[in-house]
Chain A
């Protein structure tokens, strides 16, 4: 009897030939958020106030009130997050097609380059070289940038904020045009606090990842972890943002399904 893909998946999950890898950082009050120039509104960090913990406020139960920005911790950017995506249909988290929450991922490893240069810029030329080496980036994939930046979480080097701003790797406009228009990516998934490079405000065009991704109905995933545990091809990302009415993004749990090589 032929077995359905989901049955096969279930079996693979059960016997661990497909593993779930957590790509999510823990939401905690001290997890850094993006820093904007002080005169702009700021991104609220994660906060938790106890409501009760088996005490006089609730003898048998424990729960907390939590608060945060839509873009706090490991989070999803919907197209409406950026001005370029403001008029697109289904551009908020409650409206984005559910089908997009599960998608394959291709991992582009720029960890060496990023280690050598925190301001490393991913260009179209780099991607073309990469494809020459690894093969063409398939359509409708998440593009995950492995930078190993997640290993810096808990240190000042994660935001890497200097007097002239943050310094972290990211794509330029040419790379984004290429990924969006020529490779039809689902979105860009990064370990850094934003999809754009730390200094991308000074790029031309500025903030190309946000601008081009969201202007074309694509998504961002930020503050991911464990991208180094994914294969270059073949993993599947499950990323379901909260269904916030008119929301621009959402903190979420992101996992990757990864096939283990048979023993």
Chain B
């Protein structure tokens, strides 16, 4: 079993925070492609298009028949053949996390791999392999116990690969919506120490305000993402104390491009969704970056919830989709910046949510509880792309298979 994580003490004001290093980052193009699957929490290995043999480490040609290779989902079983505990490293990231356990595993899929080991995994064990992203955004094989073990998520090595909410202080940018409130509750349930719950207009009541604000662990804060001053003010107050930012702010209105569009809605949507995201990143990312290795409650993740239609566009919701597309693009840029500092940038993609602005769309629609589960999952797995709901899953899968076809399908 894993020792439960201790509740972090308050910082010693005389101590210098541990600098947030990231593991060695040099990778081949093939390994970078592997990262795109790790980003989705998929356990993949390369399989030969000709002879079907499975290979690892990432190669550019099959070592059996020299055929071309494709990443394919694989059986995640494996057996641990050899184990070592590394106690000395010349790399700054691992030096900060010594001792570090790795092992050689024989994958059920065929190849042998050197992998990170969960503390409850030992030589000779059958294990469940996971493909994760390390703090530098690179793919990493991590062996998990085959069955759930007590406090499994608290394993210090595993925690380097996740942004688990436990003991962390989390900003949820918009708590006025049912989604924001459901997420705040789910985070507290997952062990978050504090949820700072944003309110764009503290002078205006909203449904559920009294109940959520009365909940222990919730701290209402004034945050209007269309107002640079408001974001800066909150960042100045909380910057050094926020470990995870979850952006729940979104402005979706129906409308096409030439037909039925309101420019003022589009402006409002872009201001909140796109510029708001930039304001949030500018406000919080620098202070978070300085704290990416700051103990149990180190800064860990910047998570954005956005419509999956950003990938394809969407008939009747052109503006909302365009704003989501811009966000996806910004998030990619932010991800690249934050990979150098060890902060994860996570995207939770959602289909139409069951709110006032999607009344004309048929089911299935995403309910707040589903989104909350997706957010907690993204954090506990450190997963860059998580789909909330069947619509998002379906569209994401279609888009990966054929982006141009998906664009046609979604815009008619």
| Residues in A lying within 8 Å of B, measured CB to CB | 29-30, 32, 35, 38, 41-42, 44-45, 47-50, 154-156, 158-159, 161
- For A156, the chain B residues whose CB sits under 8 A away are 203-205
A38 contacts which of B203, B224, B228, B356 (Cβ < 8 Å)?
A: B356
- For B205, the chain A residues whose CB sits under 8 A away are 156, 161
- For B203, the chain A residues whose CB sits under 8 A away are 30, 32, 154-156, 158-159
A29 contacts which of B229, B267, B268 (Cβ < 8 Å)?
A: B229
Interface size class of B (residues with CB under 8 A): 10 to 19
Contact between B268 and A44 (Cβ–Cβ < 8 Å)? yes
Bound together, the chains give a CA A50 to CA B231 distance in angstroms of: 13
Bound together, the chains give a CA A45 to CA B228 distance in angstroms of: 13
| Residues in B lying within 8 Å of A, measured CB to CB | 201, 203-205, 224, 226-230, 262, 264-265, 267-268, 271, 356
Contact between A42 and B268 (Cβ–Cβ < 8 Å)? yes
Contact between A47 and B204 (Cβ–Cβ < 8 Å)? no
Contact between A30 and B227 (Cβ–Cβ < 8 Å)? yes
Contact between B265 and A29 (Cβ–Cβ < 8 Å)? no
- Given A29-B230, A47-B227; A159-B204 close (CB under 8 Å): yes
CB nearest to B262 among chain A residues: A41
- Given A41-B265, A42-B264, A155-B203; A47-B356 close (CB under 8 Å): no
Please give me the 6 A-B residue pairs with the lowest Cβ-Cβ distance, nearest first.
A29-B227, A156-B203, A41-B264, A49-B228, A29-B229, A161-B204
Minimum CB–CB distance for B283 against chain A, Å: 14
Contact between B224 and A29 (Cβ–Cβ < 8 Å)? yes
Minimum CB–CB distance for B356 against chain A, Å: 7
Can you spell out 19 A-B residue pairs with CB atoms less than 8 angstroms apart?
A: A29-B224, A30-B203, A30-B230, A32-B203, A32-B204, A35-B204, A41-B264, A41-B265, A42-B264, A44-B268, A45-B226, A45-B227, A47-B226, A47-B271, A48-B228, A49-B228, A156-B204, A156-B205, A158-B203
CB nearest to B356 among chain A residues: A38
Minimum CB–CB distance for A149 against chain B, Å: 14
- For B267, the chain A residues whose CB sits under 8 A away are 44
Bound together, the chains give a CA A38 to CA B176 distance in angstroms of: 15
Minimum CB–CB distance for B109 against chain A, Å: 52
Minimum CB–CB distance for A258 against chain B, Å: 31
Minimum CB–CB distance for A190 against chain B, Å: 19
Bound together, the chains give a CA A48 to CA B226 distance in angstroms of: 10
Bound together, the chains give a CA A44 to CA B268 distance in angstroms of: 8
Bound together, the chains give a CA A144 to CA B388 distance in angstroms of: 54
- For B271, the chain A residues whose CB sits under 8 A away are 47
- For A32, the chain B residues whose CB sits under 8 A away are 201, 203-204
Minimum CB–CB distance for A64 against chain B, Å: 10
Minimum CB–CB distance for B223 against chain A, Å: 11
CB nearest to B357 among chain A residues: A38
Bound together, the chains give a CA A35 to CA B227 distance in angstroms of: 18
- For A159, the chain B residues whose CB sits under 8 A away are 203-204
- For B224, the chain A residues whose CB sits under 8 A away are 29-30
Bound together, the chains give a CA A44 to CA B264 distance in angstroms of: 9
Contact between B228 and A50 (Cβ–Cβ < 8 Å)? yes
Bound together, the chains give a CA A32 to CA B204 distance in angstroms of: 9
Bound together, the chains give a CA A49 to CA B227 distance in angstroms of: 8
CB nearest to B229 among chain A residues: A29
Bound together, the chains give a CA A161 to CA B227 distance in angstroms of: 22
Bound together, the chains give a CA A30 to CA B227 distance in angstroms of: 9
